[in-house]
Chain A
Amino acid sequence: MIRRYLRQKFGSIGIVIALGVLSLLTAGEIAAIGRAAVLESGGFFALLVLAAASVSKDASSGALQMILARPIRRVDYLFGRYCGILLAYAAYVAATGALALLFSPLLGKLLGGGNAGKLSPADLVRGAAGSLLSAALLAAVLLFFSTFLRGYGDVLAYFLLSLMLSAPDVLSRPLGMPWLSKLGIAARENILPRVPWEEVLRGQNVVSPATGEFVLAVTAYLTFAAWIFSRREFSYGHD
Chain B
Amino acid sequence: MPQQKPFGILRYPMITVSNVSKTYGRFGGRTRALEAVSLEVPRGETLGLIGPNGAGKTTLLSCLLGFLRPDAGRITVDGRVVDDLSIRARTGYMPERLGFDRDLSGGAFLAHHWRLSGGDPSRTRGEVDRAADRVGLEPDVLSRRLRTYSRGMLQRLGVAQATLGNPDFLFLDEPASGTDPLGVAVVRDRILEAKSRGATIVLNSHQLAEVERVCDRVVFIDRGRLTQTETLRGEEAAPRRGILRVPPARVPEAAAALAEAGLLASPQPDGTLHLDAAREEDISRAVQALVHAGVPVLEARASADLEELFRKADAS
Contacts and interface: CB of A to CB of B under 8 A. Distances in A.
Given A4-B112, A65-B67, A239 B53 contact: yes
B272 interface: no
A62 interface: yes
Interface string B48-74: 000001111111001001111100000
Given A68-B67, A69-B91, A11 B104 contact: yes
Chain A CB within 10 Å, residue with most, of B53, B67, B117: B67
Contact of A70 (B57, B58, B117): B117
Given A4-B101, A7-B104, A12-B103, A238 B31 contact: yes
A72 interface: yes
B93 interface: yes
A71 B31 contact: no
Given A68-B67, A69-B93, A238-B31, A62 B98 contact: yes
Interface stretch (A45-53, A136-144, A161-169, A229-237): A229-237
Interface string B67-86: 11100000000000000011
Interface in A57-114: 61-63, 65-73
Q: Which of A7, A62, A69, A71 has the most CB of B within 10 A?
A: A69
Interface in B12-54: 24, 31, 33, 53-54
B297 interface: no
B112 A235 contact: no
Contacts of A4: 101, 112
Contact of B24 (A68, A70, A238): A238
Contacts of B69: 233
A69 B171 CA distance: 10
Contacts of B55: 239
A66 B68 contact: no
B56 A70 contact: no
Nearest to A60: B99
Contacts of B161: 66
A59 to B, nearest CB: 10
Nearest to B100: A63
Contacts of B113: 66, 70
A233 B67 contact: yes
B262 interface: no
Instruction: Report which residue of B24, B86, B101 has the largest number of chain A beta carbons within 10 angstroms of its beta carbon.
Output: B101
Contacts of A68: 65-67
Contacts of A12: 103
A62 B95 contact: yes
A147 to B, nearest CB: 15
Interface in B221-242: none
A239 B58 contact: yes
Nearest to B116: A70
28 contacts: A4-B112, A7-B101, A11-B103, A63-B99, A65-B93, A65-B95, A66-B95, A66-B98, A66-B100, A68-B67, A69-B65, A70-B116, A71-B85, A71-B86, A71-B88, A72-B85, A72-B116, A73-B85, A233-B67, A234-B62, A236-B58, A236-B67, A236-B96, A237-B58, A238-B24, A239-B53, A239-B55, A239-B56
Listed from nearest, the 7 A-B pairs whose CB atoms lie closest are A62-B99, A239-B58, A61-B99, A69-B93, A70-B116, A11-B103, A71-B89
Given A61-B100, A63-B99, A239-B58, 12 more contacts: A62-B97, A66-B99, A67-B116, A68-B65, A68-B67, A69-B65, A71-B116, A73-B85, A233-B68, A236-B96, A239-B56, A239-B59
